[in-house]
Structure 1
Amino acid sequence: MKFSENWLRTFVNPALDNAQLTHLLTMAGLEVEENDPVAPAFTGVVVAEVLEVAPHPNADRLRVCKVNVGQAEPLQIVCGAPNVAVGLKVPCATIGASLPGGMAIKPVTMRGVDSQGMLCSAKELGISEESNGLHILVASATAGQDIRQALDLDDRLITIKLTPNKADCLSLLGVAREVSALTDTPLSAPANTPVPSNMAEVLPVKIEAPDLCGRFTGRVLRGVNAAAPTPQWMKDRLERCGQRSISALVDISNYVMLEQGRPNHIFDLDKVSGGLTVRWAKAGETLKLLNEQTIELAADIGVVADANGPEAMAGIMGGDATAVSTETRNIYLEAAFWWPEAIAGKARRYNFSTDASHRFERGVDFATNAEHIERLTQLILEVCGGVNGEPVQVGPIDDQAVNLPARTPVKMRVARAQKIIGVAIPESEMAAIFKRLQLSFTLEDGMFTVTPPSYRFDIAIEEDLVEEIARVYGFDNIPANPPVAPSKMLRQPEGQRTLSQLRQLVAQADYQEVINYSFVEAEWETDFAANNNPIKLLNPIASQLAVMRSNLVGSLLQTLRFNLNRKASRVRVFEIGRVFKRDAVVVDGPATVAGLDQPLHVGGLAFGPAQEEQWGTPTRAVDFYDVKADLELLFAPAAVRCIAFSPDEAHPALHPGRSANIEVNGRVVGWLGELHPRWQQKYDLPQQAAPVLFEIEAEALRQIAVPVFAEISRFPAVVRDLAVVVPIETPVQVLLDVVATARSESSALGVLQDVRLFDEFRSKDPAKGLMQNEKSLAFRLTLQDTEQTLDDAVVDAAITQVTQLWTQHCDARLR
């Protein structure tokens, strides 16, 4: 909400300067985002009346002017502006004046003619970016008057950032109410003086949708002069509030909206066929709006229609067919109460927003329709008058109230308010605050019962009233006392990492953290999670962010695409975030929602070279095993196992032959793999190398084994290499698992410390001892005892038992 400080002070004028006023508003919850002067600082500029204009004797484009600046003698000024003319009132920088940018005005001689000042454009004064010549002032301006006073340039423009609940402050009157209550200064509201009717004409209006429109008020005016100019004071106020002046009728409509917070509409009565009907749109209906956009109306869009069909989008924007113009002579004024639920989100659906929808979807005063029609009528008669001296014909106000909100009283306990605020504010002071806020109330046995006024849609529960007390009492007046509570340092479990430690650990593995929305595109859920029934949002912030994610793949790929589009060649990112899945087992709790599982996951993506480009290592693309090594580092000292997906459980986002489940301590805690080629193609990712992704349960990564003491052997280790031939489809992990299981049961294998694969060989040539369906695996076995040096018999027994285990369980044979 942007407004002029001087306009605000016509409603309420507290004894505060600009800095104090803006601080007061911010501390009351109306955060001041901007506080700018209307014009930059300058001095010595006055109103000048052009008395004479003559051609310059030595320059075709210059004029020699005589101007009256309120001094005894006119000044001679050389001017090159194309619009200079006798009789105009324009700004004049006199000798000694200082203009924006540091320009100082001195006597000069231009092509042999003396010039005693400068006639100024709006751009030269810093009040506009456009410059089409001299800035023309109103004819009533007084020659010699300081231009800052004449144009009210010492005004300031204040922009406040309103929270959605403060719809009552989307007007000058609303902000003035707040300032009046905060400073206990009298409020001077605009007078909505009733205008007597001088004809009986009423436009028939039928309300068919009371769940759309609770109240509809209108009035017919005939014989208005729509071509009349908008008064300069109104133009200035509109422009300083961010509204462009269009025409008198449109400007008056916008002025009342800014002044009173009431969006309204003016129909060209001669373009309305029959009466008006307020209803929901019908299938197939279209409407050309004032912004010249033609839209197809959905069944849940409210319209104001005549015999020809929809003429306005209810509470959002009028239609082009019945719009007023400078040729308009007969009009119909409309002021309605539209239910917020019927307007919310409808404009955004059509990719635009309007001042009217912004207000109506938050709630507009439903008790002042008729008063605002009177204010509109009063200004139209004042500005537009009648045509050819004929008086404007004014019809009676037609006011239909069919379904208005109930003002349910809200109770507030004094003791409860004092406890929440932390200050023992007396009952009498609370009562005074409610009076200043114009809230009617009763007080009995320490309990306030407050009835919210018609313009306050944000007061519904006890905490709302407590907030009002705290705001007006002043947050600055609430002492900043530290909480009185026992402070006990809790010991961090040694076997658990904090999320902060987890972030540092992943970052140390050369990944950068990203933060993405939990809201994603529905298509991502179908593609990357095979989830055709995602959790949908009732009111998404954007059409493409309509569902909750069940994994982190889409978010990470979006980050990758963003970086690739900006010429990044190496991307390594991770995210720690929640995913959302349906789970009927979950019940409501302090941090849970029934039927919804919200686990915390750690997801990562690596793309591009495995290492930064350098002279000592050839450049190669990152692969599955690079990221697996990163995961082993994250899980250390726990051992990580990669179990290939079976055909019926392949991950929908990953390449079937280049992906696996991650298993730790016998439990699957995540997955790892390359992106499926079909998604590389669909999402315009480079085809020469696939990104490698992983996703792990955060809780599994947070758990860490507590170090356990183990004696270090003083005796030398024995190393043996063992090569076996196994079926080509046998995973290496199976052989390692067989040995690991037997070590806990066999005393002969107690000296076996490590088994590590160091070579794999395949050949289609039978002469080399391998069949086409076989492979050779070479393992290095490390044996060591803490009590003695191993002799050959002990070593041979262990090697023999390993060979027998692999022969029995893995169909292996010595090579």
Structure 2
Amino acid sequence: MQFSENWLRSLVNPPIDSEALGHLLTMAGLEVEEADAVAPPFTAVVVARIVDTEKHPNADKLKVCKVDAGQGELLQIVCGAPNAAAGMLVPCAVVGAVLPGEFTIKAAKLRGVESFGMLCSARELGLSEDHGGLLELPADFVVGQDIRSALALDDIRYTIKLTPNRADCLSLAGIAREVAALTGEALALPAIEPVAATIPARRAIVLDAPQACPRYCGRVISGVDARAPTPEWMKQRLQHSGVRAISALVDITNYVMLELGQPLHAFDNARLSGAIHVRYPRAGETVLLLNEQTVTPAADTLLIADESRALALAGIMGGEDSGITLDTAEVFLESAFFAPAAIAGRARSYGFSSDASHRFERGVDFALARLAIERATALILQVCGGQAGAVEEAVSPQHLPVRAEVRLRPARVRRLLGIDIDDEAIAALLSRIHLVVRREGDELRVTPPSARFDIEIEEDLVEEIARLYGYDNIPAVPPQGALQMLDASESGRSAWDVRHLVAARDYQEVVNYAFVDEAWERDFCANPDAIRLANPIASQMSVMRSSLIPGLAANVVTNRNRQQERVRVFEIGRCFERKADGEPVTGFHQPLRLAALAAGPVHGEQWGVPARNVDFYDVKGDLEALFAPAQLSFETLSHPALHPGRAATVLFQGRRIGILGELHPVWVQRYDLGPAPVVFEVDLEAALSSTLPVYREISRLPAVVRDLALVVGQEVSAARVSEVLQAAAPAIVRSIALFDVYHGKGIEAEKKSLAFRVLMQDTQRTLEDAEVDRAVDALVRNAETTLGARLRG
């Protein structure tokens, strides 16, 4: 929302400067994003009349002009503008003037002819990019008047960022009411009197969808002059509020919309047929809009139509076939209330937006329609002439919004805001923003005005009191409360503990968007039924992620594009999957996961260790360290994101908790990931559980070590062999560790040799050879029986 400060001060004029006014609005919840001068600084530019022009004797494209600048004598000025003509009023920079860009005007000779000033275009004054000719001024301007005063250029254009609940401030009247309430200054809104009907012309109105449009006002105005010029004061206010002046009829509807907040639309009455219907579209119906876009309205898009065809998208944009032109002599003026739910999102679904839809989808005052049509009618008659018919109003009272009373407990206000404010002061503050307040016992009953869609519960009123009282006036008191010390189990850890553990392994945390490119989701997750966003913020962020891996791979791409080859990143975040019994949203499962990725060299460049790229076992070690002292197990895995043969399922306490592996070569090449990154992704819940170390007495007696080389099939994993040996180990066996894998001479092609070091020890006595031999035999027998292993000779 943009508006002119001068326009606002014509409605309410507090004794504060522009900067303080902007701060006041921001602290009241109407955030001022920008406050820019409508024109750059320049001096000594006045209104001047060209009295006479002659062709320059030495240049074909120059003219020698005699100019009256109000200085008592005519000035001779050489000008190259093609539209320079006798009788025009134009801006004239006299000698000594300083134009934008610190350009000083001096007396000079141009092609041998003296020139004492400069006639200016709009671009030379910094008012627009138009430099096709001199800026032509209205004929009623006073010669010699400073141009900044004549065009009201000493003005500020405010841009405010309104939250969706404050649709009542999408107008100068709404903002003025706020300023008056905040400062206590008098409010001077324009007086609006009903325009008496002087012609019998009328057009019937039929509400075929009263739930979407419960109020529609229309009026015929005949004999208008559509070519009449827009008054300069209106044009200035529009332009200073960021709205381009077009023609008188269009400018008036835009002016009333900015002034009161009620969008209006003017139809060419001669192009209408029969009654006006507010209805939903028929099958195959199309509308050619004013932006030259032809749309086929969806079934839930409300239309304005006559007896023969659709005329406009209701509350969004008018149609080209029924729009006014410079030849329009009879206007049908529309002013309506459309339910926000009937307009919200419809314009965006057709790929555009409009000032009207922006207001209606947030909520326009449902009592404003008739007032706005009277205001617009008076301005049309004043500017374009003509005669007005009676206002036709169709209304469905049962479908109009209801402003219910809201209960307010002053004691709760004091407790929530932490301020000592009495009941009368609370009522006075609410009354300043036109809320009706009545007392009922110890409580107040507050009825919001029709413009305030956002006041429905007690907390809404507390917020209003806070901002009217002044956030700066509310003391900042540190919160106090009694806290109970809760038990913290040593077998569990927080997400922050996990973050610290992963960071200690030389990974850096990242926070990626939860929505990703559909191609990445398809490639890395093989997910053909991704959860699609209805309104993505960008085309490359169109679906919800079902894995954290695509986001981490994208981090690698970003780093490689900036010549960073070594990447070690991790993320904790939610993923999104379809699941019938999902919670908290039915149909969707939202698990929290931990994922990490390592790419490039294991260490930064140095002389101490040989350079090599990170591999599967480096990341496997990081993952095992995260769960230590608990033991993880791994099984081979086929996964669309991972390299076949270099991928594993991660098992914790016999339960599948995630995946580990090197990214698939196809994706490494397609997305230019460099040396193949290695990733793991596990359920966060599993990572939060922790196994405590168990104390065992340290033996002072010597240990016995035996090496077992077992020959097993190639398909048998070392982890499986270790598991079988551990299952048969007696109490004296302290550890069993793999230390060698052998293929080659003496071993069948389909076999391999796995060598394990078995350490045996007792804390109370020295082990005997026979006891050690029995333990080794038990290990070998279990491996032979369970896995078909044999002891290598």
Query: Closer, same or farther in 2 for the Cα pair 1:114/1:208, shift >3 Å?
Result: same
Question: Does structure 2 retain, via aligned residues, the 8 Å contact 1:756–1:781?
Answer: no
Secondary structure of 2:46's match? strand
**Cα separation, 1, equivalents of 2:45 and 2:497:** 64
Shift of 1:413: 0.8
What is the match of residue 733 of structure 2?
749
Shift of 1:42: 2.4
Query: Residue 810 in 1 paired to residue 787 in 2?
Result: yes
Q: Which moved more, 1:138-147 or 1:784-793?
A: 784-793
What is the match of residue 399 of structure 1?
393
Question: Does structure 2 retain, via aligned residues, the 8 Å contact 1:452–1:459?
Answer: yes
Query: Residue 475 in 1 paired to residue 471 in 2?
Result: yes
Alignment of 1:86-485 (within 5 A): 86-385=86-385, 392-402=386-396, 403-485=399-481
Shift of 1:382: 1.9
Shift of 1:419: 1.0
Query: Closer, same or farther in 2 for the Cα pair 1:677/1:337, shift >3 Å?
Result: farther
| Residue ranges of structure 1 left out of the alignment (5+ in a row) | 386-391
Query: Residue 499 in 1 paired to residue 495 in 2?
Result: yes
Q: Which moved more, 1:729-738 or 1:534-543?
A: 534-543
Query: Residue 702 in 1 paired to residue 685 in 2?
Result: no
Query: How big is each residue's C-alpha offset from its partner over 1:469-523, in whole Å with a ceiling of 9 and x where there is no partner?
Result: 1111111111112224458999987665543443344345454433334456889
Query: Closer, same or farther in 2 for the Cα pair 1:69/1:497, shift >3 Å?
Result: farther
Match 2:648 to one of 647, 660, 670: 660
Question: Does structure 2 retain, via aligned residues, the 8 Å contact 1:715–1:784?
Answer: yes
Query: Closer, same or farther in 2 for the Cα pair 1:28/1:86, shift >3 Å?
Result: same
**Cα separation, 2, equivalents of 1:11 and 1:475:** 25
Secondary structure of 2:786's match? helix
Q: Which moved more, 1:89-98 or 1:493-502?
A: 493-502
What is the match of residue 77 of structure 1?
77
**Cα separation, 1, equivalents of 2:555 and 2:614:** 18
Query: How big is each residue's C-alpha offset from its partner over 1:185-221, in whole Å with a ceiling of 9 and x where there is no partner?
Result: 1211122222211222221221111121111110112
Query: Closer, same or farther in 2 for the Cα pair 1:575/1:748, shift >3 Å?
Result: closer
Please report the TM-score for the alignment, with normalisation by the length of structure 1.
0.87
What is the match of residue 47 of structure 1?
47
What is the match of residue 510 of structure 2?
514
Secondary structure of 1:603's match? strand
Aligned amino acid, residue 735 of structure 1: V
Query: Closer, same or farther in 2 for the Cα pair 1:789/1:101, shift >3 Å?
Result: farther
Aligned amino acid, residue 182 of structure 1: L
What is the match of residue 25 of structure 1?
25
Query: Closer, same or farther in 2 for the Cα pair 1:585/1:371, shift >3 Å?
Result: closer
Question: Does structure 1 retain, via aligned residues, the 8 Å contact 2:36–2:157?
Answer: yes
**Cα separation, 2, equivalents of 1:585 and 1:65:** 84
**CA RMSD, Structure 1 to Structure 2 (Å):** 3.7
Match 2:622 to one of 627, 630, 655: 630
**Cα separation, 1, equivalents of 2:534 and 2:540:** 13
Shift of 1:63: 3.1
**Cα separation, 2, equivalents of 1:252 and 1:618:** 78
**Cα separation, 2, equivalents of 1:274 and 1:562:** 62
Q: Which moved more, 1:513-522 or 1:722-731?
A: 513-522
**Cα separation, 2, equivalents of 1:226 and 1:611:** 77
Question: Does structure 2 retain, via aligned residues, the 8 Å contact 1:528–1:652?
Answer: yes
**Cα separation, 2, equivalents of 1:323 and 1:710:** 90
**Cα separation, 2, equivalents of 1:301 and 1:564:** 47
Question: Does structure 2 retain, via aligned residues, the 8 Å contact 1:725–1:774?
Answer: yes
Secondary structure of 1:126's match? coil
Shift of 1:666: 4.1
Shift of 1:785: 7.3
Query: Residue 723 in 1 paired to residue 709 in 2?
Result: yes
**Cα separation, 1, equivalents of 2:289 and 2:456:** 36
Shift of 1:25: 0.7
Secondary structure of 2:199's match? coil
Question: Does structure 2 retain, via aligned residues, the 8 Å contact 1:43–1:99?
Answer: yes
**Cα separation, 2, equivalents of 1:561 and 1:510:** 19
The alignment covers a number of residue pairs equal to 790
**Cα separation, 2, equivalents of 1:632 and 1:12:** 70
Shift of 1:9: 0.9
**Cα separation, 1, equivalents of 2:113 and 2:697:** 105
Query: How big is each residue's C-alpha offset from its partner over 1:405-424, in whole Å with a ceiling of 9 and x where there is no partner?
Result: 11211110111111111112
Identity %, equivalent residues: 53
Secondary structure of 1:694's match? strand
Question: Does structure 1 retain, via aligned residues, the 8 Å contact 2:288–2:321?
Answer: yes
Query: Closer, same or farther in 2 for the Cα pair 1:101/1:707, shift >3 Å?
Result: farther
Please report the TM-score for the alignment, with normalisation by the length of structure 2.
0.89
Q: Which moved more, 1:51-60 or 1:782-791?
A: 782-791
Question: Does structure 2 retain, via aligned residues, the 8 Å contact 1:758–1:780?
Answer: no
Shift of 1:796: 6.0
Query: Closer, same or farther in 2 for the Cα pair 1:718/1:444, shift >3 Å?
Result: same
Question: Does structure 2 retain, via aligned residues, the 8 Å contact 1:173–1:261?
Answer: yes
Query: Closer, same or farther in 2 for the Cα pair 1:366/1:741, shift >3 Å?
Result: same
Match 1:574 to one of 567, 570, 577: 570
Question: Does structure 2 retain, via aligned residues, the 8 Å contact 1:742–1:749?
Answer: no
Query: Closer, same or farther in 2 for the Cα pair 1:223/1:610, shift >3 Å?
Result: farther
**Cα separation, 2, equivalents of 1:510 and 1:245:** 61
Shift of 1:30: 0.7
Query: Closer, same or farther in 2 for the Cα pair 1:719/1:353, shift >3 Å?
Result: farther
Aligned amino acid, residue 710 of structure 2: V
Question: Does structure 2 retain, via aligned residues, the 8 Å contact 1:536–1:547?
Answer: yes
